[in-house]
Every structure is written in C-alpha cells, then in structure tokens.
C-alpha cells in the first residue's frame, strides 16, 4: 500500500513540474511576441533599427557632414561596436547607427535606446560628438549595436587633422579594416574600451601623431605598420596584443601590459614597459627598453627579443625570464631574484645580479655577474679582454668558456676571499696548473668567486 502511495505522489509531482514548465514557457512566448509589454514585472526587449545620418540630430537635412573640417570625432557608448571604414554604400560622409539588441529586462530597467549626434560647439563645429545609450538587459540574446563612421570608397577626404576619440565599455573598436585604395588618415587615435577589442586595419594610414590604446581584457590588433611621430601608449591587463612594425618618435613609448601577451615584428624607438605575469615578444628592437619600478615590480613575466640595438634595463625583474638573442649595441642591466637571464651575444657592457635565478650569456663585451645560489654560464667570444671580468656566486656553479688564444689571469676565490683550486677544473690544459692561472701568460684579471664548482672550458 505504501509503495502505491509513493508512486502516485511521484506522478503528481511530475505533472506539477511539467505544468510549471509549460506555464513558464507560455509566459516567455507571450513576452517574445509582445515586445516591451510588462508581464509579471519583466519585459522582452526587441530592437530592429537602422539609420544613416548625414547631419547632426535635428539638423538641416540639406547640409552634409564634412569630416575633413573637424578637429575631433568623439564617440561615447557602452556595448556598441564602433567602426570607421570606407564603403561604396554611401556617396557622402555619414554616420550609421544599427540596433538589433534583444533580451529580457525588468519592468523598471533602462530599456530605451537613443543616440544624439551634435557639435560640442555649434558655432565652430570642430568637435563632432556621438552619444549612444543602449538598452540594459539582465539576459541578452543579442547585443548587436553598431556605430559606423562611413567615408565614400572613392573619396580622397583627408582626416589627418582629426582626432578619433572613442570611449567604450564592452564593445569592439575597428578602424579602417580591409585593404582599401584610399587609406584613412587620423592625426590622433584615443581608443578606450574595458573588455572589448581594438583593431587597426590595413586601411589606416600608418602616419599618426599620437596613439593611445586601452583595454582591460580585450585584444588589440594592428594589421599594418605604424609610424607614430609623437606619443604611443598602450594599456592592457590580460589581452593579446599583436602588431607589425612600429616606428616611434622622440618620446619613449609607454606600455602597461599587466598579464597581457604583446608581440611585434620590429620596434624602432625607446620603450618602457610595466608588466606583471605577461609576455613581451619582438623580433627586433632598435632603441632602449626598460621596465617596471619599485612600486610595480615584475613577477613571472617573459621578455623575448631577437635583437636589441640599444640599452636593456630591468632593475626590478624578480622572477622574470629575460631571453635576448643579441644585444648588438648598448648596455645590459638586470636585477632579479628567481628568474633567468639568457643573452646569446652581449656586445656591450653588462651588470646582472640574481639570487637563485640562473644567468647564461654569450659575451662580446664586459660584464659583471652576481648570484646567490643561481648558476652562471658565460661564453666569452672575443680574442682579448680589455679591463677584466668578475663573476660572483655564493653556492651556485660557474662555467666559463674562452678561446684558446685568449690571454688573462684567472683567480678563483671562496666567499671568504681566499684563493682556492679545489673543485676547480680547467679543461684542455692538462695537469700542473695552479691558481692564479696565467692563460697564455696573460695579466688581465678574470676573477671568479664561488664556494661551489668552477669549470673553465678552453675552446679550440
């Protein structure tokens, strides 16, 4: 009897559940087929609007935008995508607004969509503003809202005196994407979005006076080369930032990268980076690169550069991994902790200090290296030593490779300052040598201090 009661209760419970689901679906269908109708305190938001404007809101329809006469185009929005492009869809300068947003919102939610196009100063007409207010939903089916600055495909309109200033939240920003016969020029790019992405297309004229790009978690893509005559600033926390060739003016470029992944082919100019646990990758850098400060130090970032023609300075490297194939001109300065420094060929002078981190350098200049427990591996590539070499570690191993014709005076000390020959090997010399060891009767000092193994390799 008890089993039949339980079975009957289960059936009634199942029927009740189906009834609730059916009622919910009916309510949802009513809302979808009756947009903006209040149902139980909620409503379905549905927009399907497209407008192309040739003049300011409420302006004389006989007048047309003249973008070339402007000093600035200023766009403010929330999640709308913003794009600037050439198209054969228009014969005159225009601004297109698309709104296909869909979703569910509360009855008292901000569901009204509106936009306003106006001149900041109606007399001078130098700053054109586009303000967009998108509908806010707690559940979106579509957030397709777009603001497009349209230029005729065949028009040679010159925007080289215009600043493009976009402030966005989660929308993407695209400038001059696609290969176009007529490039789009701007005097300045000031593009900001919180979690949207920024794309600079091949149709953008590479000569720009000022570039400021900022996104917290979006990506940044530069499809073409950039030649920035004044200032270049890049702010990101966790995006992927990909560029081609960047040529900078006299001002040092500022890149706040956080945990982002930055990649470029060649950079010409000086760069200062603030990086946490991110990646910086460049094939070649002609200029100086420096990074971080006492307040915002590196953690476990990775710096990879093919060649640097300039100075390299990372005084707060901490656990960062610094990998440079060649420093052909300039100096190397690194102070870190548990990271690593790997330089295939250091032509200039250097100073490197680590704690437990390792140092591996191919040396064609002068360099002082110090660690606490980290290993030191140096291959000295020149035929002569000008002013001596100094390597120091408390308990890390040291390996030094030298040319067989090199002349120098090798001294190996423990950390108490005492000469020692135990646990010291000089490969390729044979027996009977002692410390100090005058290689080829040389006198230029090579001083090694370590309580651990010291290995000198004579390369034939």
Number of structural domains (the chain) is: 2
Give the mean model confidence (pLDDT) for residues 95-113: 88
Say if residues 322 and 303 touch (Cβ distance below 8 Å): yes
Residue 82 domain flag: yes
Q: What is the pLDDT of residue 108?
A: 80
**Residue 415: pLDDT band by 50, 70, 90 thresholds?**
very high
Residue 415 domain flag: yes
Residue 387's domain comprises 375-460
The DSSP bridge pattern shows strands 279-286 and 253-258 to be unpaired
Q: What is the pLDDT of residue 33?
A: 56
Residue entry with tokens 């039949």: 4
**Residue 310: pLDDT band by 50, 70, 90 thresholds?**
very high
The pTM is what? 0.89
Give the mean model confidence (pLDDT) for residues 197-226: 95
Do 101 and 237 lie in a common domain? yes
Q: What is the pLDDT of residue 88?
A: 87
Residue 134 domain flag: yes
Residue 2 has pLDDT above 60, yes or no: no
**Residue 34: pLDDT band by 50, 70, 90 thresholds?**
low
Residue 336 domain flag: no
Q: What is the pLDDT of residue 31?
A: 57
Taking only the tens place, the pLDDT of each residue in 377-398 is 999 999 899 888 999 999 999 9
Q: What is the pLDDT of residue 207?
A: 94
**Residue 23: pLDDT band by 50, 70, 90 thresholds?**
low
Q: What is the pLDDT of residue 228?
A: 97
**Residue 29: pLDDT band by 50, 70, 90 thresholds?**
low
Residues sharing a CB contact under 8 Å with residue 373, sequence separation 6 or more, in sequence order: 355, 356, 393, 394, 395, 396
Q: What is the pLDDT of residue 294?
A: 79
Q: What is the pLDDT of residue 243?
A: 97
Residue 259 domain flag: no
Mean pLDDT for the chain? 90
Spatial distance between the Cα atoms of 205 and 182, rounded to a whole number of angstroms: 9
Residue 265 has pLDDT above 60, yes or no: yes
Domain boundary among 220, 251, 282: 251
Give the mean model confidence (pLDDT) for residues 261-274: 97
Domain boundary among 251, 285, 310: 251
In angstroms, what CA-CA distances link 251 with 133, 235, 326, 339, 394?
A: 37, 17, 24, 30, 41
Q: What is the pLDDT of residue 168?
A: 96
Residue 342 has pLDDT above 90, yes or no: yes
Residue 6 domain flag: no
Residue 46 domain flag: yes
Say if residues 178 and 201 touch (Cβ distance below 8 Å): yes
E strands, 312-413, are: 312-318, 321-329, 332-336, 340-346, 350-353, 358-363, 367-371, 376-380, 389-393, 398-403, 408-413
Q: What is the pLDDT of residue 380?
A: 95
Domain boundary among 232, 251, 270: 251
- 237 vs 40, higher pLDDT: 237
Q: What is the pLDDT of residue 138?
A: 83
Residue 108 domain flag: yes
Q: What is the pLDDT of residue 301?
A: 95
Q: What is the pLDDT of residue 370?
A: 97
**Residue 11: pLDDT band by 50, 70, 90 thresholds?**
confident
């Amino acid at each position: 009897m008890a089993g039949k009661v339980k079975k009957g209760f289960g059936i009634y419970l199942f029927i009740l559940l189906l009834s609730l689901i059916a009622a919910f679906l009916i309510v949802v269908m009513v809302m979808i087929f009756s947009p903006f109708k209040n149902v139980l305190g909620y409503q379905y938001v549905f927009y399907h609007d497209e407008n192309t404007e040739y003049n300011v809101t409420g302006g004389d329809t006989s007048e047309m935008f003249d973008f070339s006469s402007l000093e600035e185009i200023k766009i403010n929005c929330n999640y709308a995508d913003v794009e600037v492009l050439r198209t054969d869809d228009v014969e005159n300068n225009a601004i297109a607004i698309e709104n296909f947003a869909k979703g569910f919102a509360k009855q008292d939610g901000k569901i009204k969509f509106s936009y306003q196009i106006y001149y900041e100063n109606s007399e001078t007409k130098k700053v054109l503003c586009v303000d967009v207010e998108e509908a806010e939903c707690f559940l979106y089916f579509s957030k397709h809202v777009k603001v497009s600055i349209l230029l005729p495909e065949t028009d040679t309109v010159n925007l080289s005196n215009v600043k493009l200033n976009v402030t966005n939240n989660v929308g993407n920003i695209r400038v001059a994407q696609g290969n176009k016969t007529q490039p789009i020029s701007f005097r300045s790019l000031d593009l900001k979005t919180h979690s949207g992405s920024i794309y600079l297309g091949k149709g953008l004229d590479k000569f720009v006076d000022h570039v400021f790009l900022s996104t917290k978690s979006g990506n940044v893509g530069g499809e073409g080369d950039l030649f920035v005559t004044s200032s270049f600033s890049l702010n990101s926390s966790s995006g992927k930032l990909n560029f081609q060739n960047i040529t900078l003016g006299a001002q040092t470029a500022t890149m706040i990268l956080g945990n982002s992944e930055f990649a470029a082919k060649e950079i010409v100019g000086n760069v200062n980076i603030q990086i946490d646990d991110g990646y910086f990758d460049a094939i070649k850098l002609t200029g100086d690169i420096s990074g971080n400060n006492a307040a915002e130090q590196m953690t476990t970032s990775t710096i990879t550069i093919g060649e640097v023609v300039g100075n390299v300075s990372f005084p707060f490297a901490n656990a960062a991994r610094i990998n440079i194939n060649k420093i052909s001109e300039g100096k190397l300065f690194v102070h870190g902790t548990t990271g690593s420094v790997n330089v295939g060929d250091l032509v200039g002078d250097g100073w490197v200090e680590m704690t437990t981190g390792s140092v591996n350098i191919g040396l064609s200049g002068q360099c002082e290296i110090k660690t606490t427990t980290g290993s030191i591996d140096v291959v000295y590539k020149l035929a002569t030593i000008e002013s001596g070499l100094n390597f120091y570690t408390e308990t890390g191993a040291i390996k030094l490779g030298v040319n067989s014709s090199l002349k120098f005076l090798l001294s190996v000390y423990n950390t108490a300052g005492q000469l020692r020959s135990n646990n010291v090997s000089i490969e390729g010399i044979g027996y009977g040598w002692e410390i100090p060891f005058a290689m080829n009767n040389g006198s230029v000092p090579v001083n090694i201090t370590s309580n651990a193994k010291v290995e000198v390799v004579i390369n034939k």
